[in-house]
Amino acid sequence: MAITIKDIARITNVSATTVSRVLNNKHEGVSLETRQRILDTIRELDYKPNAIARGLVTKKTNTIGIIIPDISNQFFSDIARGIEDGASDHGYNVFLCNTDDKLDKESKYINALKEKCVDGIIFASSSMPNIKIISELIKGSIPVVVVDRHVEIENVYGIYTDNFRGGYIATKHLIDLNHKKIGCITGPLGNHNSKERLDGYKQALLDSCITFNEDLVAEGNYKINGGMKAAEKLIRNKQITALFVSNDLMAYGAYKAIKAAGLNIPEDISIVGFDDTELSQIIEPELTTIRQPAYQMGIEAERALIKIISGKSVKDRNKSFSPNLIIRKSTSKYQAKII
Ligand code: RIB
């Protein structure tokens, strides 16, 4: 039988209220001797406060939910790590929900976190977000902070990267290396940040008077296999000399397709990725990419959520991080081949 707060009170000859005050570090009116007797008894009997009972009283569970689409992608595990580190510092536990980019799992986890009465939710939507469900969540009673994947719902708090700028500086880097036939492998175009990166690519071409050719664009799925299939399509007779790939996992897939076609990186095709996950500095040749601060995004999202839970104001509803170009060995200057 689990030890209850009433057992501690009876054994130490004080009221349950006094025990609760000591548990919550509210010592006014409790003598040092009484406090020590209560703490000793709690330790001897290994008493653990009942979280559900406590939640019924405080209306808080000191838990937050994290919903992300792909825990196997280091970008999202870095976000989750930042959230968990911040939550732990603030005395919160986390429930981590991985939706596998599937809408049915996304709905299931949103309902599960509501049933667990979490104090708040940090949410990165699937590639094809269900705006109705997300809108109900955001307009509901549980505070929500959206991270990475923008949702077109007013008054939502969000932590993002400037994806347009990321697509722009990636493409501009290739243009500055004298490339003109630059392909683009996008993320799933139902995803807001995939569209923004593609728009940045288009704008960089336009600003350098390079005509946009939609035949040089292929849609991917933010996974290795999607990058490989899209690259196979683009390198077939397209004479591209460079590729902007909208995330690092797909860039790894593009490597495989380019090497399978007997081509070399960067001599035949230069590649720029997006995210800067750890493998990008291990893969051969090391990947030039756009870094987004995933861990810091997680820290900021958790910080904003705790403020909202505590009824404090959050300075800016949409915090956007600037991406950085990380130049490595997968890009080089284009030189026309003399046949
Ligand atoms: O790698 C996964 C991609 O999807 C990242 O670029 C991130 O922005 C997420 O939206």
pLDDT at 23: 83
Cβ of 126 below 6 Å from ligand 1: no
Q: Do residues 77 and 50 lie in contact, with contact meaning Cβ atoms separated by under 8 Å? A: no
pTM score, whole prediction: 0.84
Residue 144: closest CA among 321, 339, 317, 326: 317
Q: Quick one: which atom of ligand 1 is closest to the CA of 70?
A: 2
Compute the distance from residue 150 Cα to the ligand 1 centre, in Å.
11
Give the Cα separation of 220 and 319 in Å (integer): 27
The one-letter amino acid code at 326 reads I
Angle at 99 between CA 246 and CA 143, to 5 degrees: 100
Q: Kindly report the protein residue whose alpha carbon is nearest to atom 4 of ligand 1.
A: 222
Residues sharing a CB contact under 8 Å with residue 269, sequence separation 6 or more, in sequence order? 235, 240, 241, 242, 243, 258, 263
Compute the distance from residue 191 Cα to the ligand 1 centre, in Å.
9
Compute the distance from residue 75 Cα to the ligand 1 centre, in Å.
7
pLDDT at 289: 98
Q: Is 136 exposed, middle or buried (0-12, 13-18, 19+ CB in 10 A)?
A: exposed
Cβ of 149 below 6 Å from ligand 1: yes
Q: Quick one: which atom of ligand 1 is closest to the CA of 73?
A: 1
Q: Do residues 324 and 289 lie in contact, with contact meaning Cβ atoms separated by under 8 Å? A: no
Cβ of 196 below 6 Å from ligand 1: no
pLDDT at 339: 63
Using alpha carbons only, how large is the chain's radius of gyration in Å? 26
Q: Quick one: which atom of ligand 1 is closest to the CA of 194?
A: 10
Q: Do residues 220 and 246 lie in contact, with contact meaning Cβ atoms separated by under 8 Å? A: yes
Q: Quick one: which atom of ligand 1 is closest to the CA of 161?
A: 8
Cβ of 291 below 6 Å from ligand 1: no
Cβ of 221 below 6 Å from ligand 1: no
Element spanning 185, H or E: strand 182-186
Cβ of 194 below 6 Å from ligand 1: no
pLDDT at 68: 96
The one-letter amino acid code at 202 reads K
Q: Quick one: which atom of ligand 1 is closest to the CA of 275?
A: 6
Q: Do residues 306 and 145 lie in contact, with contact meaning Cβ atoms separated by under 8 Å? A: no
Compute the distance from residue 194 Cα to the ligand 1 centre, in Å.
8
Cβ of 193 below 6 Å from ligand 1: yes
Cβ of 73 below 6 Å from ligand 1: yes
pLDDT at 239: 86
Cβ of 275 below 6 Å from ligand 1: yes
Compute the distance from residue 94 Cα to the ligand 1 centre, in Å.
22
Cβ of 160 below 6 Å from ligand 1: no
Per-residue pLDDT of the chain (339 residues; tens, 9 = 90+): 778 888 899 999 999 889 888 887 788 888 999 999 999 998 888 888 776 666 655 567 899 999 999 999 999 999 999 999 999 999 999 999 999 999 899 999 999 999 999 999 999 998 877 788 888 888 888 999 999 998 878 888 999 999 999 999 999 999 999 999 999 999 999 888 999 999 999 999 999 999 999 999 999 999 999 999 999 999 987 689 999 999 999 999 999 999 999 999 999 999 999 999 999 999 999 999 999 999 999 999 999 999 999 988 888 889 999 999 999 999 999 987 766
pLDDT at 52: 63
Cβ of 61 below 6 Å from ligand 1: no
In this structure, the chain runs to a length of 339
Compute the distance from residue 134 Cα to the ligand 1 centre, in Å.
19
- Site to probe by mutation for ligand 1, drawn from 71, 73, 98, 224 as the one with most ligand atoms within 8 Å of Cβ, is 73
Q: Residue 250 corresponds to which tokens in the numbers above?
A: 């797909």
Compute the distance from residue 318 Cα to the ligand 1 centre, in Å.
18
